[in-house]
A and B are shown apart, each in its own frame.
Chain A
């Protein structure tokens, strides 16, 4: 019970760190959004973590060093962000308080929908083959105080880094947190990160709903007040989340992203299918509605870069998704520039994909020892 409680306590702490980091990416109080902040912070967090992890790993240094470097740095950056943005945050929180109190029933409904999903998923037992890699990688890293040097499946020492997992340091972050907190990786991944994944997936769906059912579209011909329109849009978003949740729990074969969300939520691939790709779709929806502003392209670049740290499969899927949606934009706006900008945004993914192709063909190997 205590283990589960500690695991669940990690959820708001993780989201708060994402929120703090994401607040650095947002503009003024009028355009500030907690959900955008958490989502943006999620990608920024793993980009920063990659920057810390890769040098430590490639210099064969222990996991404990990475923990000693990352935890204080992360907390300092988060604290700095909160202090720097304190005026915007205080203003936003007071606005939020009044908005929530006006629509507390709907907000409670949304909270309940997400909580129910978390309860069903985190209470369940799921046997999946790939957990033997993801979770055992974290457990192995802690037991050996190393990073990606031992085979998670068998525990044998490996003479080279598996390139497929070199940049996707998402499981190593789990190891770092578990080493620091003492929480077992199984509790952290299958309770904390599962919950975080479900919250993030619902946040993206909520943002998509906000975009599709925006306030402007709710005003009727007689010009209904904005507050009522806002509340109606929120109700629609709640219904949207409800239906999205139902589909996630019922679209179950071993291949669907929904199955990954409810049975393998803590894996990088699950975040790819349920957070990263829907976020790309969200950015597309915004561009289709509001035009192709620089902010949207920067968001897309952030998502692309962050996705490389979460799952190796992102290197293939993110460019494919970006090109399909950029092609749509090209057709809509009758310009070639969206395709060019799409390619530029996905350069990190394309570079890693190319490097992986060379690796598989034996062009290079990165050994776990020098010389």
Chain B
């Protein structure tokens, strides 16, 4: 294969070289000036310009009709999404008009004023009037675009009162979501207390005490070990142990600010939080999403809801939206049915499982090797009752006992981070299959 590729390249080059030789000899015979564009060349290129222009116009028009301005995402599932879609349509009308107009002028002029013997170009160096026209017209159009855009922008970014708070927490390569519970207030959280069964690092006073105790015990253990076996252990191992002790000591010191931030209210706020791996939303309810990340920057993209926000380690970002169409309703939309019929036809041929429409949250900021598969399933239900049934189930779930039973923190210190990632990946895989 390698040989074949090289052979083809070599052959192409040889063929080109031969062609060039023939061409050069013949043009030398005719004593042609290489710089001068001949009549034949002018005709050829003018024809090509025309063909290209027509192809560009026809194919771009066809694509706009065939794919539309939001292929596969025709229906906005959120309230503000309709405003965005409307703004898109308005902008596309302006932009496409300008596109067709200017490309037409460009290509028509380029073709029409091709070189002709005896023609002298018109000496037309400037015209203040014309220049003013094409400064003012774009300026006015842009003013319209800016005003339209900012009106919707302000509407989207204005906080909504009494929205239900949900935290979205990103990590390589999965999502966790935390419902704020009955009080609609999220408990404090901190990356330093993250562990397998507390993936969001939710903080309570009890947890801080337990952590401190555990870490102190571990320090004691290692220090004892150093004392007893220190002389027998190899240097690098010993160094590692000393380092670990120092790290733990630092961590204990860094717990102090957390402890100070903790009040009985925040403890209560944390205790009714519920962590889930799949997002359930109720149609017609306002949601305020708060985004955080534990490792690198991620971006939470909700394509069907026209929402996106970065998740940045060390800070909290927000986005508010109101879902307006439930998953069940969406599955009955003719556009969606048509799209998924086609999709499934192909999937069957490819030997893949058939799929149903689902809302999805995906990562849209490069975050590492599995960036392309970092997702969370979203279900929009029609009624509060449906949601409550699911929510009650989640509360009972023992997946994250730390929140339900803070009294009994697990002692899985040796469980590595990789296994967490695995479980996250597993559950998203499950969500996808569903």
Chains A and B belong together in one complex = no
Chain A contacts to B: CB under 8 angstroms:
none
